[in-house]
């Protein structure tokens, strides 16, 4: 990757950009929400579309000169419709959180009720956390995963809905390793006449590839991120039936956002085209197979996984049973030292804090993009075990760093 123009203008930023390329090449990106997009997506995202204002929607813009912006946005929408089978798609949200904000703004009034999964149980800040506007503008109650199984208890969720009578139920999660039964949640929503928002931010790619059940056509609204498992340009997306199009579009613009980031919309369009290729389904299947291999091997080493395993792209390790004196932060920092980049994460029944929680979350989308197979993921699990088990032993960490180097040399990324 060549940043010659930036280097000429701004050497400090060129150093940081080149450093980041090197960092991504030389480390294992296992933050479950991250991935590595193609150079085609990178080119589209850094294109001259960054210069263009295009408030409005294709064919109905508030500014002149939007013919290419229209073409790009129309292609992004068409491809998204094909990928997820949605009737209506809005590709303008700047992020998954802003996609959720668009839905809330479209159908809720301040003070309305949200029922969503607790953050410590795998939910997301934008689902009603007190630190987010959703926790302040709406009345929020939260469901939890079952304390013994780690799975969502759909009967319990429905009983909670019947008691609370929410205006909207939110499904779709950030740290839930199991397949989500969107139909069961829709039944709960129907029972109390609530909307259902399925936030598939993490699993957009798995749903598009058909390796996870889809909420499209089931839930009223489906939101997602476009840069996680789907591996397109960075941002958010909203999908819904045609009947809600006139609620959603004005809630995104002008309701919550200004001009769309057309360079990012171009990156979304290019990534969606890549995801329509047959190889993408193999990628999504391999991502899940790799997460299962990683999780199985971690369990062989004595780690406890929330829910006992995974059906998707991530595993959530509760360190307390196997390593009661090691926090998620201790593990995250020691692993980063050896080149494994994942995040400390809260776990159900969390007894520490969000900053220094009791778990680690690890995902395989980035590794799978590099070409990792199940065997390579078992090697990663072995390294994670050695490091977490000996997190202040410098010799162990030096050996682990060499093993990570061997993997990054074998499974290369950017030029």
**List of residues contacting ligand DSN (CB under 6 A):** 33, 96, 124, 174
CB of 104 to ligand DSN, least distance (A): 16
**Token pair for residue 415?**
């030029």
Q: Which is nearer to ligand DSN, 125 or 396 (CB)?
A: 125
263 with 230: CB under 8 angstroms?
Answer: no
Residue 204 CA to residue 227 CA, distance in Å, equals 9
CB of 347 to ligand DSN, least distance (A): 14
Backbone angles phi, psi at 73, to 5 degrees: -70, -40
Q: What angle do CA 368, 369, 375 make, to 5 degrees?
A: 25
Residue 178 CA to residue 185 CA, distance in Å, equals 14
DSSP-derived letter for residue 303 is P
358 with 346: CB under 8 angstroms?
Answer: yes
Q: Which is nearer to ligand DSN, 166 or 236 (CB)?
A: 236
Taken in order 95, 87, 283, 292, is the CA torsion positive or negative?
Answer: positive
Q: Evaluate the omega torsion of the peptide bond into residue 254 and state whether it is cis, within 30 degrees of 0.
A: yes
Q: Using CB positions, name the residue nearest to ligand DSN.
A: 33
Q: Which is nearer to ligand DSN, 174 or 368 (CB)?
A: 174
Q: Which is nearer to ligand DSN, 161 or 207 (CB)?
A: 207
CB of 124 to ligand DSN, least distance (A): 6
Residues 6+ apart with CB under 8 A from 274: 38, 40, 41, 231, 232, 280
Q: Which is nearer to ligand DSN, 34 or 241 (CB)?
A: 34
What's CA 47's distance to the chain center, in Å? 24
Q: Which is nearer to ligand DSN, 96 or 295 (CB)?
A: 96
Q: Which is nearer to ligand DSN, 96 or 260 (CB)?
A: 96
Assign 3-state DSSP to the chain and report helix, strand, coil percentages, each to 5.
50, 15, 35
CB of 179 to ligand DSN, least distance (A): 18
CB of 379 to ligand DSN, least distance (A): 24
CB of 229 to ligand DSN, least distance (A): 11
CB of 388 to ligand DSN, least distance (A): 20
């Amino acid at each position: 990757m060549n940043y010659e123009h930036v280097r000429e203008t701004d050497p400090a930023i060129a150093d940081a950009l080149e450093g980041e390329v090197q960092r991504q090449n030389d480390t294992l990106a296992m933050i479950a929400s991250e991935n590595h997009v193609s150079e085609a997506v990178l080119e589209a995202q850094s294109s001259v579309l960054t210069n263009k204002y295009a408030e409005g929607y294709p064919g109905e813009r508030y500014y002149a000169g939007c013919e290419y912006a229209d073409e790009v946005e129309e292609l992004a929408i068409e491809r998204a419709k094909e990928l997820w089978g949605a009737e209506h798609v809005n590709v303008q949200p700047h992020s998954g959180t802003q996609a959720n904000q668009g839905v809330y703004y479209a159908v809720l009034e301040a003070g309305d009720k949200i029922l969503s999964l607790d953050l410590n149980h795998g939910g997301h800040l934008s689902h009603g956390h007190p630190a987010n506007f959703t926790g302040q503008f709406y009345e929020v109650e939260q469901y939890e995963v079952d304390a013994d199984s780690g799975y969502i208890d759909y009967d319990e969720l429905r009983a909670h809905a019947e008691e609370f009578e929410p205006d909207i139920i939110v499904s779709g999660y950030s740290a839930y390793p199991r397949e989500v039964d969107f139909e069961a949640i829709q039944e709960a929503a129907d029972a109390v006449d609530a909307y259902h928002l399925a936030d598939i931010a993490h699993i957009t790619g798995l749903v598009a590839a058909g390796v996870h059940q889809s909420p499209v056509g089931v839930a009223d609204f489906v939101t997602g991120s476009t840069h996680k498992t789907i591996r397109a340009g960075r941002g958010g997306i909203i999908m819904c039936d045609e009947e809600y199009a006139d609620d959603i579009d004005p809630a995104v613009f002008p309701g919550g956002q200004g001009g769309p980031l057309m360079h990012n919309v171009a990156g979304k369009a290019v990534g969606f085209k890549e995801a329509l290729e047959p190889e993408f389904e193999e990628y999504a299947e391999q991502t899940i197979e790799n997460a299962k291999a990683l999780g199985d091997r971690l369990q062989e080493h004595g780690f406890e996984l929330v829910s006992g395993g995974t059906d998707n792209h991530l595993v959530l390790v509760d360190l307390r049973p196997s390593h009661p004196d090691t926090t998620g932060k201790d593990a995250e920092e020691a692993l980063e030292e050896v080149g494994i980049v994942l995040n400390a994460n809260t776990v159900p029944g969390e007894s520490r804090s969000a900053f220094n929680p009791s778990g680690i979350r690890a995902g395989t989308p980035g590794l799978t993009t590099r070409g990792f197979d199940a065997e390579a993921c078992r090697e990663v699990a072995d390294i994670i075990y050695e490091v977490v088990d000996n997190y202040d032993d410098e010799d162990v960490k030096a050996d682990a760093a060499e093993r990570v180097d061997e993997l990054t040399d074998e499974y290369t990324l950017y030029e």
